[in-house]
Amino acid sequence: MGTTSGNTSGIGRRDLVRRAAALGLVTVPAVGALGACATGGGDGDKDGKQAGKGTKSAKNPLAVEEKAPLDVVIFDGGFGQQYAKDAEADYKAAFPGAQIHHTGTQDILTQLQPRFNGGTPPDVIDNSGAKQMDMGTLVAKNQLADLNDLLDAPSFDDPSKKVRDTLRPGVAEMGRFGGKETWVLYYAYTVYGVWYSKTNLAKFDAQYPETWDEMLALCEKAKKKGVAGWTYAGKHPYYLPFSLYPFIAKIGGPEVLTRIDNLEPNAWKDPAVKAAFEAYYELYKKGYVLQGTPGLDHIQSQTAWNEGKALFLPNGSWVENESKKTTPADFRMAVAAPSSLDKNRDKMPFGTIWASGGEPFIVPRNAKNPRGGMELLRIMLGKKSTQNFIKSVSSLTSLNGGTDGLSLPPGLTSCQETLAKAGKNVVNPRIGDWYVALQKEKIGVGALGEMMAGRLTPDEAISKIQRYADETAKDSSVKKYRHV
């Protein structure tokens, strides 16, 4: 499975306006209010393209209206807001007459729902975090502008190249939810996996365990000294798939994740899923999970990990920046791919990792200054903004080669090494992008969290998840996406 999204199945966009109200999932009622939005394109045409109101030139290839205000909303999470403010300063330098209104929030959904409903959305949004808007709903309800004009514009640093040609492989394709339109620009490039401290492993005379037997042995050794093997964001158990999904692919091959993404019947009942679930459940059964983990949020679990209370943490590469206030100077943070369950039987080699575009940026269809929103993204994809992001938040961006000449912190250095080791063995499950509520509330909270807390067996968790997936597959109001 690569990093490309699939085609839609045969459900037309006009038939999908009931999606949000019909999902009936925990995070969706607020999104469902988007049903009150007009589905027209404001100043754009029926395809979501937005004509520039300014004068097109080499310095203004998107024809931004130079004095139009720019309204920016940024998710104030692991990456903070400063990187966006710095890019906004460059925008202001290019368009001195433009006033910029910047908002940072951790509650994207609640903050922006009324604005979408009222037809006054911001010009560009970092739609991320636990309370992000459902991307599939926004696409299905025609609420987003097509970003292909941005991708086909000259890159900020080299006018001879298009923006799309400067991106890491698969990033542009991730923004397509079927068809040729590009609805989302994934700005960060995230490496997911099992995070650990080289310093803390050295205290046990250990390196990262490449097999599951070695993992269990190390966890037992740590337990005897009062240290847990694992912790995770118990209140947000959709973090568990950051290491669990590539573990499943490693055991059974990438096609297992493809069938899961495609909502195929019995996809979750694949033997690889069962084997992976049973391995993770063993961590709970043997007491290798930090006591109280189900009640911890992402910050609390990261802090406990930083304090050496647990050795391993499933997470994404934003963790280095998000946890820096509590990370010891000698921590030597690193990320690794899932251990091999059985090197002789696993379908993919050790080193198989999940890495993909992250931190999704969107430009609303009814924005007052959509071209300005796209121009800000073009600036952000320049080398100056990219390297500022890398240096300030310890994470990669989607600009290919953006790390050239930089001295990287330990976690980000490890990301580069892990990607190099993976080579072509990189997977990118899309279920979390295509069906946000299904992934976070049903699979994560409703099943994986319950299993890791000991309230469901692996078989019970799998049956529950398969039922959730089948319900989504049968719901004609939910727009479907498939890998080609």
Query: How does DSSP classify residue 136?
Result: H
Highest mean pLDDT among 3-7, 355-359, 444-448, 476-480: 444-448
- Cα separation of 25 and 96, whole Å? 45
- φ/ψ of 481, rounded to 5, equals -130, 145
Least confident interval from 32-46, 106-120, 174-188, 377-391: 32-46
Minimal CA–CA distance to 140: which of 37, 265, 262?
37
Q: Whats the size of the chain, residue-wise?
A: 484
Average of per-residue pLDDT across 217-241? 97
- Cα separation of 242 and 262, whole Å? 19
pLDDT tens digits for range 183-194: 999 999 999 999
**Considering the entire predicted model, what is its pTM?**
0.79
- For helices 254-261 and 241-252, give the axis angle rounded to 10 degrees: 120
Same fold, 7-189+358-401 and 191-355+431-482: yes
The residues spanned by each domain of the chain are: 7-189+358-401, 191-355+431-482
Instruction: Calculate the CA 66 to chain-centre distance.
Output: 33
Alpha helix (H) ranges present in 64-165? 82-94, 108-117, 135-140, 148-152
pLDDT for position 49: 60
* Structure token digits, residue 462: 């799998």
Domain 191-355+431-482: CATH superfamily, name plus number = Periplasmic binding protein-like II (3.40.190.10)
* Structure token digits, residue 27: 């995070």
pLDDT tens digits for range 90-135: 999 999 999 999 999 999 999 999 999 999 999 999 999 888 998 8
SS3 100: strand
CATH code of 7-189+358-401, in short, is: 3.40.190.10
